[in-house]
Amino acid sequence: MKSAIRASKKSERYFVEIAWGAEYTERMTQSITWLQDEIADRMLQKLDIVKLDAKAVLLIPEFPGEYFSVLKKRFPGARVDGLYEEDVSSITSMRTKLFQLWQRVFKGAHRSPLKDYLRTGKLALSDSSVDLIFCDLLLQDLPDPPHFLQECWRVLREGGLLTFSYLGPDTGKELRALEVGTLKLKNLASPWDMHDMGDALLGERFSDPVMDMEYLHLDYESDDLLLADADALKLLQMKPTHALGKGFLPQKLTLEVVYGHAWVIGKHLAKAQDSVAYIDINQIGRKTR
């Protein structure tokens, strides 16, 4: 991997230019765990400026990677719940499996397949039960992100934090610029830019959302590697049925990675209607001397 060529990063609060780039000779796994681990590392770096004493962390999705040990060091003693992807659970290291067993036995940690949420639309956790939700490269594959945000709000405690990353609408823009022909492309399930997500967070009662974005530029040595990654990223309706013409593919792929976090504050308030928030009468205390 060669580092640092060019990328751009935008924020609703500021504008910054940064650099990053890479060349790859190996394909991603079907579940893009390599990319998830790289992005998880960047998400954890962003948490360095956040003050949060998390006693319970929810990973969505939970996947094997170096980030796992970093997260444990960042929040020692925390219960770690997870929604795992079944197709990658078999490659989890023995050390991680032992930690998960210890968590389940001594911390009461809960793990369930991600497919259960996708089927039911419910996170298998009780209300106000976690302090941090760490959601890495998932939102672009969800057909109903606002409902997911509602579920995150439900299971987060007062003062809890949702931090996430997802692929934005410019992902794979080189492929979308081609004359499609035999290359069948599809849109991301949720092609939201960071402004869309910021608005959605406010609409679901999250507080102080912070959004930023960067472009990651991947360069490839062969069409097969590029198509394998595009398939893993769910950009293809189907793989080409026969070889594409030489020079048809661009030998590069842009990923728009959107990052964000937002807080849960004021859970006792009902959802605002007509710009007015309503408070439960039981939350009103009488001032005493």
- Own/partner contacts of 176-179, CB < 8 Å, gap of 24 or more, are 178/248, 178/249, 178/250
In a domain, 59, yes or no: yes
In a domain, 1, yes or no: no
- What is the mean pLDDT of the segment spanning 61-86? 87
Angstrom distance (rounded) from CA 211 to CA 85? 26
The CATH number for 14's domain is 3.40.50.150
pLDDT of 52 above 80: yes
Give the residue from 160, 167, 115 showing the smallest Cα distance to 138: 167
Helix-then-strand count for the chain, H and E? 8, 12
- What is the mean pLDDT of the segment spanning 165-169? 96
Bridge partners of residue 23, in order along the sequence: 219
pLDDT of 129 above 90: yes
In a domain, 204, yes or no: yes
- The answer to whether residues 186 and 236 touch, using CB atoms and an 8 Å cutoff, is yes
Q: What is the pLDDT of residues 81-128, one digit of tens each?
A: 989 887 655 555 555 655 555 456 445 577 888 999 999 999 999 999
In a domain, 44, yes or no: yes
pLDDT at 99: 57
Residue count of the chain: 289
pLDDT at 107: 54
Indicate whether this model's pTM tops 0.85.
no
Domain range for 193 is 7-283
Angstrom distance (rounded) from CA 87 to CA 89? 6
In a domain, 2, yes or no: no
Q: What is the pLDDT of residues 262-288, one digit of tens each?
A: 999 998 775 555 545 544 444 444 444
pLDDT at 184: 79
pLDDT of 11 above 50: no
CA angle 38, 121, 203 (to 5 degrees): 80
Count how many domains the chain has: 1
- Average of per-residue pLDDT values in the chain: 79
Angstrom distance (rounded) from CA 234 to CA 214? 20
CB neighbour list of residue 122: distance below 8 Å, 6 or more residues apart = 151
In a domain, 234, yes or no: yes
pLDDT of 53 above 50: yes
pLDDT of 5 above 50: no
Q: What is the pLDDT of residues 213-244, one digit of tens each?
A: 999 999 988 888 888 889 889 998 877 666 66
245 vs 182, 211, 219, CA distance in Å?
Answer: 10, 40, 19
Angstrom distance (rounded) from CA 255 to CA 236? 15
In a domain, 22, yes or no: yes
pLDDT at 40: 96
Q: How confident is the model at residue 33 (pLDDT cuts 50, 70, 90)?
A: confident
Identify the weakest region by mean pLDDT among 13-17, 195-199, 209-213, 265-269. 13-17
In a domain, 149, yes or no: yes
- What is the mean pLDDT of the segment spanning 174-199? 85
For residue 6, give the DSSP letter. Answer: -
